[in-house]
Amino acid sequence: MELKGKKLRLSVNSEARVERGRVMLAPVLEGLVGEPLVERQDLEQAMSELEMDTTPGSVSDLAPEEERHIIHESLDKYYREQLDEPIPALGDITPRQAMKSEKGREKLVTWLKRLENHIARHKPPEPMAGYDTTWLWEELRVTDLRA
């Protein structure tokens, strides 16, 4: 959650969390705010927004290594959760479901390569630079399709 001026923003990564957030916040915010504006983003949109927010030379009290470590841990957590969430690029099935069929694995490889290409655009000193997605390929048992 983020409060900026007169706006309260709740950012989550699943529809279930949207509903939980609404249930938790509705009684507290009743009469204080209007109807919520719901905005959905796919992974590429969210990553693009993150790129704009984390420009090189951003002001932080953390050492670059600490910042990179935190970002990489956050990416690990985010992608670990994504393994069990429906992904539009995979036909609205989870990556774990996609790995079970040949067609699903093809889409999965395309999705993973897209992630890798996006990450590869980040160069040091950007905190996302150097993030290693090898564990995703291994977890989804498609390392043999990585070319």
User: For residues 5 and 95, which has the higher predicted lDDT (pLDDT)?
Assistant: 95
CA pair distance 40, 57, nearest whole angstrom: 29
pLDDT for res 106: 96
Contact status, residue 86 vs residue 14, Cβ threshold 8 Å? no
> Average model confidence (pLDDT) for the chain?
86
How is the chain split into domains, by residue range? Answer: 1-40, 43-145
And the tokens for 42?
């796919």
Give the up-direction half-sphere exposure of residue 17: CA atoms within 13 A in the CB hemisphere.
9
Confidence of residue 12 (pLDDT cuts 50, 70, 90): confident
**DSSP output for the chain:** -EEETTEEE---SSHHHHHHHHHHHHHHHTTTS-SPPP----HHHHHHHHHHHS-TT---SS-HHHHHHHHHHHHHHHHHHHTTS-BGGGTSB-HHHHTTSHHHHHHHHHHHHHHHHHHHT--TTSTTTT---HHHHHHTT-GGG--
User: For residues 59 and 8, which has the higher predicted lDDT (pLDDT)?
Assistant: 8
pLDDT for res 60: 67
* Residue-wise pLDDT tens digits, 71-84: 999 999 999 999 99
The pTM score is 0.61
* Residue-wise pLDDT tens digits, 93-116: 999 999 999 999 999 999 999 999
pLDDT for res 82: 93
pLDDT at 44 over 60: yes
Section 14-37 average pLDDT: 81
Single-letter amino acid, residue 35: E
Confidence of residue 133 (pLDDT cuts 50, 70, 90): very high
And the tokens for 62?
């953390």
